[in-house]
Amino acid sequence: MASQAYRLSSELRGHEDDVRGICVCGGAGIATSSRDRTVRFWAPDPEKKQRYTLSKTFVGHSSFVGPLAWIPPGERFPEGGIVSGGMDALVLLWDLRTVEAVETMRGHQMQVTGVAVDAVGDIISSSVDCSIRRWRKGHMVDTWEAHKLPIQTVVTLPSGEIITGSSDASIKLWKGKTCQHTFLGHTDTVRGLTLMPGLGILSASHDCSIRLWALTGQLLMEMVGHTSLVYSVDAHISGLVASGSEDCSLKIWKDGLCIQSIEHPGCVWDAKFLENGDIVTACSDGVIRIWTLHADLVAESNELESYEIELSQYKSSRKKVGGLNLADLPGLEALQIPGTSDGQTKVIREGDNGVAYSWNSRDHQWEKIGEVVDGPGDNTGNRVLDGAQYDYVFDVDIGDGEPTRKLPYNKGDNPYTAADKWLLKENLPLSYRQQVVEFILQNSGQSNFSLDTSFRDPYTGSSAYVPGESSISVGSAAKPTFKHVPKKGMLFFDSAQFDGILKKIGEFNTNLLSDMEKKSLSLTEIELSRLSAIAKVLKDTSHYHCSTFAAADIDLLSKILRSWPTAMMFPVIDVLRIFIMHPDGASLLHKRIESGDDVLLELFKRGMTSPIQAGNLLTIIRATTNLFKHSCFSQWLQQHCSEILDALSGCRSSFNKNANLSYSTLIVNYAVLLINQKDQEGQAQILSAALEIAENENQDTDSRFRALVAIGSLMLDGLVKSIAIDFDVQSIAKSAKTSKDTRIAEVAADIELIIKAT
């Protein structure tokens, strides 16, 4: 008996992290892959109708596992076989009966994103390395570059053709290595593909849509309803279509219309139909769920209730307004308290929404600005605006039937400049300026910003017209304007390839295990798992404000950095580099130093001991640069400035381009810090180091530019202008002004202008 809507049938629990892929293995069971580096096989439960139980776990990948494919039972595999692809760039073939990897296919240079088995038994794989590879009996027999950007998915047709989807937003149909058709229409990455029986092929895209195509390339239908990236799509012989998305929903479609949407307590990575029409979903909460139309297969009432509670808790924890938890916002009673200054803003909880109010001192009342529809941490996809990426993009409904306005902002930017630019772009009154600035400060977590009430048009540099004021300031001389100085914010190295870092740590650990003399230095499985957990927290930047570490985490990092051979330190230093960026990580590290255990200084001395490893040098410079993120390290950085500069300048001749850029970035940050500290001696040391970089005309342009910015900033806002002139900075500026690089020429002109003002 069928019901009208899909309902929860069962939950399969066993994975320890995100479930990334699903493979329906005929009537034998269901295979799933996970970020926990395993493939698990779920067999039908003989005691419960249409229920499944964990039967086998396949361990062999060194990183998270994604795509899966099924090989039906045959002579070679009496119970069937499973193909898996992983972040470790491997394709593995598993014997379901023995639970062993019988073939390990190496050749891809980067993550394997798709696997399929064609009619003759060849394995087809796709990768972020832009290639398609064909494997036969464990050996690669063919390969070609199918797209110029990463390939995200691959499927095979019964006729032997191959279809690929890519980050270039295109779909291609291949006969052999020849492209027969290119399907164009998506505006973002094509993430998933599947056959639609009798009609053509379905595609899922990061543009939030699903499309149905004829095999000739003709677009037949577009399905729109998801509000974020669509990761997967599948079709059933009944004509139903299922899709999974970053928006935490499974959607079911019929004839192009969404007929049901099922919320999940996490991202839905994959969705697949069973033969009876039930749907299996893979969720980022580590749970596989089966949804059914059949009333006799619906879960027990207590299971349904438990799921609703879990879903409600997840939604409550996730609901944010302007980067703040909705539950933490004050209610309407907060509007009974008068504001302290004109233009002060408050975000108030009204039902399930946050509404911004501004204090009007003249009328002595709070005025509604509008509903804050979205927050900076709710959806990483919303942080891209007009092709540019921002730390925050607020969606603000200003009411009166007006469309939602997007307010972008980057950490470190001047909020007044951001507000001015936004008001002019949106054609809104400049009188809103103070309200917008305070809104930005409140919702980006900046409580101690020094307010600057002067307006300067961000496009023309002109001041705003204020009624009643003279258009000319009598007796005031025009101040010179500079293009690139003084530098106010800090620069950081905050991106990391954690899968590669953890893979390298794993390789080094294996080497230690195989060395009888150094085996005692190796990490246990628990310690390796702890490192993976640390990396998982560090990856999730949207939750830095609430995620934490244990003291054992810094203990583990400290232990490795102190005990492992210096040649093996660099990937662990790289973990520390990002650990420093995390507020709680930085706090733990600072407490360790304050207690007398200066792991940073010990790391610096150990890593800089001759012979210096190139990997250690680069990661140490970048980790030190990231210390400037948090003011708690300012004293340490100032105290050890000479020691750090002396050690690094002594080995500059061995720097490669990356090391040079990292070193010049460190110099810029030191310039900003020591200007604020009014440390003339320290400024002079930084000036000397910066001049050494800037005077080298063969220096790479990015490093030279940053050194010149440091020089100009130190001369303009620091205490070493006369010292710079004594060091003949004028000649360096004159030479730099002839550079073909516009930025270098501009900052050189800034320096000349500073000299002329002497």
What would the pLDDT profile of 587-612 be if each residue is shown by its tens digit? Answer: 999 999 999 889 888 888 888 887 88
Mean pLDDT for 416-439 is: 75
Give CA–CA dist 243/226, Å, rounded: 9
Strand partners, 245: 230
Element (H or E) spanning 584, and its range? helix 583-594
Percent of the chain whose pLDDT exceeds 90: 52
pLDDT of the residue at 622: 94
Coil vs helix vs strand at 137: coil
Give CA–CA dist 445/323, Å, rounded: 9
How many other C-beta atoms are found inside a 10 Å radius of the C-beta of residue 659? 20
State the CATH architecture for 656-758. Answer: Alpha Horseshoe (1.25)
In 81-166, at which residue ranges do the beta strands (DSSP E only) sit? 81-86, 91-95, 100-105, 112-117, 123-127, 131-136, 139-145, 151-156, 162-166
The domain 483-639 having CATH identifier 3.40.50.1860: the answer here is no
Query: Per residue in 195-234, pLDDT tens?
Result: 998 899 999 998 899 999 999 889 999 999 998 889 999 9
Mean pLDDT for 360-368 is: 81
Q: How confident is the model at residue 448 (pLDDT cuts 50, 70, 90)?
A: low
Report the b/e string of 643-653 with b at 16+ CB within 10 A. Answer: ebbebbeeeee
Give CA–CA dist 44/10, Å, rounded: 12
Coil vs helix vs strand at 424: helix
- Tokens encoding 718: 């620091």
End-to-end CA distance of the chain: 90
Strand order in the sheet with 257-263: 230-235, 241-245, 249-254, 257-263
445: left (phi over 0), alpha (psi -120 to 50) or beta: left
Percent of the chain whose pLDDT exceeds 70: 88
Q: What is the CATH number of domain 2-298?
A: 2.130.10.10
- Tokens encoding 566: 């210096």
Measured CA distances, 13 to 9, 35, 42, 271 (Å): 13, 14, 10, 16
C-alpha atoms less than 13 angstroms from C-alpha of 236 in its C-beta half-sphere: 20
pLDDT of the residue at 22: 97
CB 161 within 8 A of CB 172: no
Query: What is the phi/psi pair of residue 7, to 5°?
Result: -135, 160
Residue 665 scores a pLDDT above 90: yes
Residue 399 scores a pLDDT above 70: no
- Which residue, among 495, 522, 492, 519, has the nearest Cα to 509 in the 3D structure? 522
pLDDT of the residue at 40: 97
pLDDT of the residue at 373: 53
324-325/320-321 β-pairing = antiparallel
Element (H or E) spanning 209, and its range? strand 209-213
Strand partners, 181: 173
pLDDT of the residue at 397: 52
Ranges of each domain in the chain:
2-298, 321-412, 483-639, 656-758
Give CA–CA dist 735/732, Å, rounded: 5
Q: Do domains 483-639 and 656-758 have the same CATH topology?
A: yes
Mean pLDDT for 335-353 is: 76
Q: Where are the alpha helices (DSSP H) in 233-300?
A: none
Mean pLDDT for 133-145 is: 94
pLDDT of the residue at 3: 54
Query: Per residue in 517-569, pLDDT tens?
Result: 899 999 999 999 999 999 999 998 888 888 899 989 999 999 999 999 999 99
- Tokens encoding 14: 């066993």
**Choice between 414 and 606, residue whose per-residue pLDDT is larger:** 606
81-86/65-71 β-pairing = antiparallel
Give CA–CA dist 418/143, Å, rounded: 49
Give CA–CA dist 136/409, Å, rounded: 52
Measured CA distances, 102 to 30, 66, 99, 266, 586 (Å): 20, 19, 9, 34, 45
Q: How confident is the model at residue 472 (pLDDT cuts 50, 70, 90)?
A: very low
pLDDT of the residue at 398: 56
> Residues in the chain, how many?
758
